[in-house]
Amino acid sequence: MRLMRVFLKSMREQLRSYWLLILSISIAPMFVLLYWMITGGGSTTYRVLIINLDGQTAGSVSTTVIEKIQQLSYADGQPILKVTLIEDQTTAETKLRNREATALMIFPEGFSSTLVAAESGRSVDPVSLTLIGDLTNPYYPMVSIMAVSAVDEYVKDMIGQYSPVILNEIPLGASAARTEFEIYVPALLILAVVMLIFQVAMTITREVENGTLRRLQMTKMTAFDLLGGISLTQVLIGVSCVLLTFLTASLLGFHSQGPLWVAVLIGAVTSFSIVGVGLMIACLARTVSEAFIYSNFPLIFLMFFTGAVFPIPPMPIFTVAGRTIGMFDFLPPTHAIVALNKVLTLGAGLKDVIYELSMLLILSTIYFGIGVWLFNKIRLKHS
């Protein structure tokens, strides 16, 4: 009987903390659903850009090889590579920097005529097949090997063991010069900022527990004043964290290819967005302990579904003004990771990350606005 009383008491307490109960029960099924959506229920298809300077005449060798690349598939028939023909190399490299594509392959002029001549036994000069990509992109090695293997296999079947095709691999930016440690630094910087979510949520909840709201209602101070002041402090802490992380990485051998101040700016704006998420958590938590527990759930999404811990394949939803919008683009660190990789690895400047910074600012404003609205709606009306 005593065991049952304890059981019933524990159940009532769990039901009173229904948000925690719902989150605890639903987080694993939610992960399963999201990973199913990421992989399409099967395996991931990677995007390859191709510039065909050899011409796109039906029946040409280059056109047939491109078709062979498109035919690469998993055991269930799902394509491995999605080929997109493009004409401008500058546009293609921009897509590589934005990680809207994984690799760029360029078929040179005379590709078909060289292989046809070699097939007939004539002596020919080698023809160069160019492959361009960000060597720090974890998907690039696999995609490049598959695409090049498809070309080699077709050429071998056509000519024999001898192949007049030589591969010319061009790393994007300074991606070939990065050490394994340097490759991980951009993600580590974002993780340092994301961890700020605990500080924000617990600090604001502590103010509620200490009775600050009651004093607030007796003054002319608004919720915006309270939250804005706390948020500015947390953003300052976030910037300090970014600077300290940069300093530590630099002392250990890290070198930024782009202007360091741009990377710090990206970190600062990302901090503001994380503050917005922390505000929303603080509006739901009744105690500091609850704030700590609740913070773990958005932390998981901000770490695992933004590319901070491991790469997430693009999941395009729609395109606006030539810019592809993905499923996880509503999570600020998604843009921060891309922007930091551009600056730190590819040597980009401020103008090259304007889109990412703009998205970070928009999302930060939205999250902060929602946090203030929830604070007024939930905290002030019930205090």
Which segments in the chain show pLDDT lower than 50? none
Query: Is 34 part of any domain?
Result: no
Are residues 328 and 306 in contact, defined by beta-carbon separation less than 8 angstroms? yes
Residues 154 and 231 in one domain: no
Which two structure tokens, joined as six digits, stand for 173?
């930016």
Number of domains forming the structure of the chain: 2
Query: Is 264 part of any domain?
Result: yes
The pLDDT assigned to 100 comes to 85
The pLDDT assigned to 40 comes to 59
Query: Is 11 part of any domain?
Result: no
Residues 308 and 330 in one domain: yes
Can you give the CATH number for the domain in which 166 is found? 3.40.1710
Residues 341 and 239 in one domain: yes
Residues 70 and 194 in one domain: no
The Cα–Cα gap between 193 and 185 comes to: 13
Query: Is 12 part of any domain?
Result: no
Length of the chain as a residue count: 383
Query: Is 370 part of any domain?
Result: yes
The pLDDT assigned to 212 comes to 67
Residues 77 and 145 in one domain: yes
Residues 134 and 258 in one domain: no
Rounded CA Rg of the chain: 26
Query: Is 38 part of any domain?
Result: no
The pLDDT assigned to 213 comes to 64
Residues 216 and 148 in one domain: no
The pLDDT assigned to 21 comes to 66
Last residue of a domain, one of 113, 147, 177: 177
User: Which residues are CB-contacts of 235 (< 8 A; sequence separation ≥ 6)?
Assistant: 268, 271, 272, 275
Residues 184 and 310 in one domain: yes
340-365 exposure pattern, b = at least 16 Cβ within 10 A, e = fewer: bbbbbbbbbeeebbeebbebbeebbe
Q: Mean pLDDT across the chain, nearest whole number? A: 82
Residues 168 and 209 in one domain: no
Residues 187 and 170 in one domain: no
Query: Is 22 part of any domain?
Result: no
Determine the Cα angle at 65 with ends 61 and 70, to 5°.
Answer: 150
Residues 191 and 238 in one domain: yes
Query: Is 325 part of any domain?
Result: yes
The Cα–Cα gap between 188 and 250 comes to: 13
Last residue of a domain, one of 177, 211, 242: 177
Residues 153 and 194 in one domain: no
Which residue is listed with tokens 């947390």? 234
Q: What is the DSSP letter of 149?
A: H
The pLDDT assigned to 89 comes to 92
Residue 205 belongs to domain spanning? 180-380
The Cα–Cα gap between 155 and 160 comes to: 7
168-184 exposure pattern, b = at least 16 Cβ within 10 A, e = fewer: eeebbbbbeebeeebbe
